[in-house]
Amino acid sequence: MKLEPYWLATAPRFGAGATGPLAGIVDVAIVGGGFTGLSAALALAKSGASVAVLEAGRVIGEASGRNGGHCNNGLAHDLGGLAASLGQDRAVALYRAFDDAVAQVERLVASEAIDCDFIRTGKIKLAAKPEHFAKLQKSAELLSRTVEPDLTVVRPEEIRREIGSDGFHGGLVFPRSAHMHMGRFGVGLADAAARRGASIYENAAVTELHRLNARAHRVVTSRGEIEAGQVLLATGASRQGPFAWLRRRIVPVGSFIIATAPLSAELAASILPMRRTATTTKNIGNYFRLTPDNRLIFGGRARFALSSPKSDAKSGAILQARMLELFPQLSGVRIDYCWGGLVDMTSDRLPRAGERDGVFYALGYSGHGTQMSVHMGQIMARVMGGDVNANPLAGLAWPAVPGHFGPPWFLPFVGAYYRYQDWRH
């Protein structure tokens, strides 16, 4: 078993990175070479701006290349609950932004000819307990009236047409969701940005950021320094760099994933005959999908811990046990890959994007980053170009997480709380 992301291990390395030391003046410096930063770099370079992407490690080496491979529409929230807190119009607008995000990924795949197996398979949300199905039905009534007219309710007695497991009690199918190969998409996005003239610097960790005046910033990195007219922070849950204000508002939460060896066509069909992306209704639930070569990619929180080789291996064993509990037909199937990553979680699980003290930012995707990171990269390019009304996340309050000043010491307590909620409800 390899302790590395399947997506990175099976994608080509980005080969068009900038060489030599960092120096000079650019229109825009982007901190972070994940989907947000690369998407913004592509859009800005296409508009004629000079762009430098500053990545501490390798392109898409963190969350963008360490996820479960889903590109799903829909919010992490119950739409009715979100409407109660933000108002119906704002809640619906946010839901539709997530729809737009999947469409944005699809457009970029087509326009830049990125070979990444993008396909609109649909997503099924699976009721992990009998009582959860009633909640899904109630949610479906509102969704169907407002934002998901093609939603399908799968009753408990019909669930076997969607999934080969006795562990679920009905579900909802969201037909606009998709999946793709994250590594090949990310490298393709980086190649597209570089083709349009963006300079992408790997191994260029930002160590200092200074605002010189209203139109200039000095950005110091491990490869030199640069002056930029504008700066976009696309750092996700990164714990590096001089970004304490953001880190007080982002909780890095570990998410862990395993990938099986390729399954036979018959065995794959016995698990997910419709080949959808799948998520479950528990707070500490699971998410899974099949790849084109019939590997099962199976993920979840597993443990409320941060990612490291030792932590990933422990979490992988928990995930494998859960996978076999749901799909006993996989007994004896080899696990080829096991990895972890950090989800940039906000306290309300809504992403944030905007501008503070002359510096722009987009992050906090809270487990829905594939589509929203790509979308918000494009959106922030428009905002930085003067279209101030383009941002669908504008105006969301973003207070600091109480007691959060560094490492998330409270994660074990959060995990215990959610386990209790899953046991109780």
> How does pLDDT run along the chain (425 residues), one tens digit per residue?
999 999 999 999 999 999 989 999 999 999 999 999 999 999 999 999 999 999 999 999 999 999 999 999 988 888 999 999 999 999 999 999 999 999 999 999 999 999 999 999 999 999 999 999 999 999 999 999 999 999 999 999 999 999 999 999 999 999 999 999 999 999 999 999 999 999 999 999 999 999 999 899 999 999 999 999 999 999 998 888 999 999 999 999 888 999 999 999 999 999 999 999 999 998 778 999 999 999 999 999 766 677 788 888 999 999 999 999 999 999 999 999 999 988 899 999 999 999 999 999 999 999 888 999 999 999 999 999 999 899 999 999 999 999 888 777 777 766 665 665 676 66
Q: What angle do CA 56, 57, 62 make, to 5 degrees?
A: 105
The arrangement of secondary structure in 6-415, i.e. its CATH architecture, is: 3-Layer(bba) Sandwich (3.50)
* Residue 377 to residue 400: CA distance in whole angstroms: 23
pLDDT at 424: 65
Sign of CA dihedral 17, 18, 22, 28: negative
* Neighbouring C-beta atoms of residue 385, cutoff 10 Å: 16
pLDDT at 415: 65
pLDDT at 301: 78
CB-based burial of residue 284 (10 Å sphere; 0-12 exposed, 13-18 middle, 19+ buried)? Answer: middle
DSSP helix/strand/coil, 229: strand
> Which pTM value belongs to this model?
0.95
Q: Which residue in the block uniquely carries the two structure tokens 């000819």?
A: 113
* Residue 26 to residue 49: CA distance in whole angstroms: 8
Amino acid in the structure at residue 50 = S
CB-based burial of residue 152 (10 Å sphere; 0-12 exposed, 13-18 middle, 19+ buried)? Answer: middle
In 3D, which of 221, 205, 9, 191 has the Cα closest to residue 112? 191
pLDDT at 283: 72
Q: Which residue in the block uniquely carries the two structure tokens 């030391």?
A: 21
Q: Which residue in the block uniquely carries the two structure tokens 């996700």?
A: 236
pLDDT at 82: 93
Q: Tell me the domain boundaries of the chain.
A: 6-415
pLDDT at 311: 84
3 state SS for 28-45: EEEECCCHHHHHHHHHHH
- Phi–psi pair at 252, nearest 5 degrees: -80, 115
